[in-house]
Amino acid sequence: MSPRLRHLTTLEHLPRISIERLLDRAEALRDACAHGTRKLDVLAGRTVLNLFFEPSTRTRTSFELAARRLGADVINFDLGFSSTSKGEELYDTLHTLEAMHLDAIIVRHKEAGTPDALVRHAMSGVSVVNAGDGHRAHPTQGLLDVLTIRQHRPDFENLVVVICGDIKHSRVARSDIHALTVMGAKEIRLCGPAGLMPAADEFPHCRYYNDFDAAIEGADVSIMLRLQKERMAIVDLPDEAAYFNHYGLDTRRLARAAKGCLVMHPGPLNRGIEIASEVADGAQSRILEQVGNGVFVRMAVLCEVLAR
């Protein structure tokens, strides 16, 4: 049995058994809720704090719901998002929060590595959970994505996944690649305009594409990334319509994928830019299942790191 996780900052280097334990627990929690359990008390008396240095209403709300459904108290430590706390100032904030006897800190920060820095500087038994750090990792998103895939395609060794969009700046893509790699996916294809692709040596086990028609050919899963509109400048394309024409997922392009290809997106959607409404709202879309799984995965992570 793999040791219990005390923190979750990235999925890299996690053994498959640890990821599967989290996914199994998320499903058990989902089943309990489906059978009418509205609220558990496994974390009663524990306090979880949201420490968000970047705004994210959706992810914060998902963590808040997860913590409350387990009976924990939740504190939103609102920094007004003007804060760029780092270095000593960041560690003083950490130590102040630890001195208040919090049990877990959910952290989002624009600088990669911040959650690991908090783990290294923590003086007490507080658990740190990464809710997104720079372009590096968003591990609960990676977990909810492989959970969603597993519910439909449990045979990862036969799975071809394409991730399309701004891979270079995407912590979602990185955590998806980590999770899919650990789960033994057959093939991971990365696709996007040249300016938005990662360095060739970052993911040597993945296949790189600039042509989405070629990349989606025969894929079992298509994960579309949100295009940050300010990144359009990097893309050698005249406008959003041209981006959609080359890298958007529409019905015609989805037909090139394997039959029943799962359509996924971390949200929020830019309809008509990276995905057509007909596909986002279509029968193959798993986008809302991802959201639902997100709460259960976060419940599982909080149970894991806060177990006594």
Q: Can you say which residues are annotated as belonging to the binding site for L-aspartate?
A: 86, 171, 226
Write the single-letter amino acid at 66: A
Q: Looking at beta carbons only, is 138 or 189 nearer to a second copy?
A: 138
CB of 182 to a second copy, least distance (A): 26
Nearest residue (CB) to a second copy, 80 versus 238: 80
Distance from C-alpha of 206 to C-alpha of 190, rounded to nearest angstrom: 7
Closer CB to a second copy, 55 or 184, in the complex:
55
Binding residues: 58-59, 86, 108, 138, 141, 171, 226, 267-268
**What is the DSSP-derived secondary structure letter of residue 4?**
P
Nearest approach, Cβ of residue 63 and a second copy (Å): 11
Min dist. Cβ of residue 227 to a second copy (A) = 15
130 burial level (CB within 10 Å; 0-12, 13-18, 19+): buried
Nearer residue to a second copy within complex by CB, 202 or 289: 289
Q: How far is the CB of 179 from a second copy (least distance, A)?
A: 20
Residues with Cβ < 8 Å from 81, sequence gap 6 or more?
A: 52, 53, 54, 55
Instruction: Name the minimum Å distance from CB 200 to a second copy.
Output: 35
How near is the Cβ of 262 to a second copy at its closest, in Å?
16
Residue from 131, 180, 150, 56 nearest 298 by CA: 131
Q: By CB under 8 A, name the binding residues for a second copy.
A: 33, 38-39, 44-47, 49, 55, 57-58, 61-62, 64-65, 68, 73, 75, 77-80, 88-89, 92-93, 95-102, 267-269, 271, 277, 288-289, 291-292, 294-295
| CB closer to a second copy, 215 vs 227 | 227
The answer to whether 132 and 110 are in contact (CB under 8 A) is no
Question: Reduced to 3 states, what is the DSSP secondary structure of residue 167?
Answer: coil
Choice between 3 and 268, CB closer to a second copy: 268
Contacts of 260 (CB under 8 A, 6+ apart): 220, 284
Instruction: Output the CA torsion 144→130→180→151 (10° steps).
Output: -10
286 Ramachandran zone, left/alpha/beta (phi>0; psi -120 to 50): alpha
CB 104, CB 302: distance < 8 Å:
yes
Q: Which residues, other chains included, contact 262 with Cβ-Cβ below 8 Å and sequence gap of 6+?
A: 148, 149, 152, 153, 220, 221, 222, 284, 286
Residues annotated within the binding site for carbamoyl phosphate are 58-59, 108, 138, 141, 267-268
